[in-house]
């Protein structure tokens, strides 16, 4: 199942903290599509996924924002 999170306007570490909170109740294998415009998210989100056991499925630009698609792992 796909879920969405709008983290536009939030600065480090808020996008990752919001993603962590949003992922907690999801079933393993569900995806979260997060929009963020924080420049630090480009480094923070992949690091968070690696540390937390989630898969960063896709990372792409969408105008001034980035889209991160995260598949919940453990």
Task: Provide the 8-state DSSP code for 26.
Answer: S
**Contact in structure between 34 and 19 (CB atoms under 8 Å):** yes
Which residues lie below 8 Å from residue 46, measured CB to CB, with a gap of 6+?
56, 59
Runs of H (alpha helix) within 1-74: 14-23, 41-52
Q: Which residues are catalytic?
A: 12
């Amino acid at each position: 199942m796909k879920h969405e999170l709008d983290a536009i306007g939030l600065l480090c570490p808020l996008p990752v903290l919001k993603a962590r909170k949003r992922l907690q109740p999801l079933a393993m294998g569900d995806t979260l599509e997060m929009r963020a415009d924080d420049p630090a998210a480009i480094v923070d989100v992949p690091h968070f996924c690696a540390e937390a056991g989630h898969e960063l499925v896709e990372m792409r630009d969408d105008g001034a924002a980035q889209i991160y698609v995260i598949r919940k792992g453990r």
